[in-house]
Amino acid sequence: MSYYIREAQIADAQAIHDIYGYYAEETYVTFTEDNPSVKEYEDAIINTKKAYPYIVLCNEADQVIGMAYAGRIRHHDAYRYSVESTIYLSKDAPKHEGLGSMLYLELEKRLSDMGYKFMYGVLTDDNEPSIALHKSLGFEEVGHFENIGYKFGTWKGIVWYRKQIGSLTDMTLKI
């Protein structure tokens, strides 16, 4: 089967809602407990793309099976060169075929081309597949917060991973 990556469109909001909904409602992977509405995803696609990439992974049947995007890590001006990155694949997406790497590397390329310097991934500390993905792509652990989130009656920790994706001498953002 072949796959391709493209810009997210408003019409993808339902598929993104469904992909993320599984993780929000059934897992500890995200600390979100209630899946936002399709309309909220539509708005998020529009607003995210004003300054960051929002991309989707599709199969040869043109079905969205994954998404990745970035956003500002904190609201203070000095953080403008760093982003928090997000990636999710459908629970039914094929495993161990490099789809997560393909999608995340494309997000990284687009962010780097825009002038961003650092990508941060914030992961539940027992999410071994995501930790392995980040490590395989050159991210380094830079922080660990134990028992910071409470979901489904259980305390969970998070780890922060960081990767430098741009030169620290060119301070031009192309947004």
pLDDT for the residue 1:
79
One digit per residue, the tens of pLDDT, for the chain of length 175 reads 799 999 999 999 999 999 999 999 999 999 999 999 999 999 999 999 999 999 999 999 999 999 999 999 999 999 999 999 999 999 999 888 999 999 999 999 999 999 999 999 999 999 999 999 999 999 999 999 999 999 999 999 999 999 999 999 988 889 8
Domain residue extents for the chain: 3-164
Task: Domain 3-164: give its CATH architecture.
Answer: 3-Layer(aba) Sandwich (3.40)
* 3-state DSSP percent of the chain in helix, strand and coil, to 5: 30, 35, 35
E strand or H helix at 150: strand 140-151
Three-state SS for 32? coil
pLDDT for the residue 172:
87
